Amino acid sequence: MELPLGKCLSGVDHTGSMTQVTAFAPGRVEILGNHTDYNGGVVLSAALHLGITATGHRLDDGEIRLSSSGVRHERKIHRATGLKKTGEWIDYPLGVAEMLARAGAEAGGFEVSYESTLPAGAGLSSSAALEVATAVLLTRLYPFEISRMDLAKLCRRAENEFVGVNCGLLDQASSVFGKKDHLVYLDCRSESVDAAPFPSHLGLLIINSGVKHALTGGEYNERREQCFEAARCMGVVALRDATSAQLEAAEMPELAKRRARHVVGENERVLLAIDALRSGRAEALGPLMSASHRSSMENFENSTPELDLLVNLATAQPGCLGARLTGGGFGGAIVALVEVGAAESVRVAVEAAYVAQTKHKATGILCCAGDGALPAED
């Protein structure tokens, strides 16, 4: 059952009369489907138990005040002057406020403070969690009915049109649609979401490389355009419509073919993973994840030496079934599929070997698949 956001949620009266409300949105870890979302493909991810909490209230003066536990001074923006991009973290919530206004929401003045349990720069989509937490909070302060999928799409538009990163729907949909003990299966073309069971004896060990992840530079948009070039060369609407055999037979620049080889292969790996999960063969995800990372190294070139080292160290440990970079790449974290009983020994061994070889400190945490910001009613 779809839960409209203008209804009474977490004790918040639908009139918005309470002075303070709180919203939580989780980060996400991408299991398979790297860079497939903006290519009309399929993705497998998990919402985490880590995320961003937004606490706020209305302001009658029409002012917007934003602060974070990591920022000493609050930022004040007068709506009368219009919302403009600042180049700072506040662009994400400002973008959400702008998109809500365009959608017809009242969204007057408000003050919000944010707290995060997500490690910065780890590629666990803190930006989408920030957007989703803001959107949920604002639609509680200023009641506005919107479906879960439309909320995810509104947050994506905030990042595309206001922040200026041409991301797909994966991060926002994962944060909204997460389901405890399940992975999120997103079809980016039909914009439909399903859940696949994730067994309790396996876990997701996320290991931060200590090398900051950032997609505000040109690498993400460059890869996106290379994928679109490959699709044009093949005469297909998107790489979702191509098979690996068709790609290899097509004529196009070698660089575009390598980029497309990664995306087409990722779509195929996601479908194999879904079949494995639904037939009780979750361990099969491990080799698929390792194959995904090899493709990131060789074809998409969005890995780093540090991420490659972490994957090699993790997969050498007993109890680790496979590993890959997660998120957009270019730094951040890896995710390893591990037997829960072996997770701690894998973490300790990888952290020790990594710091010895790189002098960077890696930080591992065993994560569980959790609920999204707006779990569906049963």
Tell me which DSSP letter residue 296 carries.
Answer: I
Amino acid in position 341: G
- Print burial letters for 254-290: b (CB count within 10 Å at least 16), e (below 16): eebbbbbbbbbbbbbbbbbbbebbeeeebebbbbbbb
- Print burial letters for 174-192: b (CB count within 10 Å at least 16), e (below 16): bbbbbbeebbbbbbbeeee
Residue 52 has φ and ψ, to the nearest 5°, of -120, 135
Identify the CA nearest to 32 among candidates 367, 279, 285.
285
Largest CA distance in the chain: 62
Q: Which residues make Cβ contacts (< 8 Å) with residue 312, sequence separation at least 6?
A: none
Examine the residue annotation and report whether 13 is marked as an active-site residue of this protein: no
Choose the catalytic residue: 13, 171, 241, 308: 171
Residue 276 has φ and ψ, to the nearest 5°, of -65, -45
Amino acid in position 305: P
Residues with a known catalytic role: 171
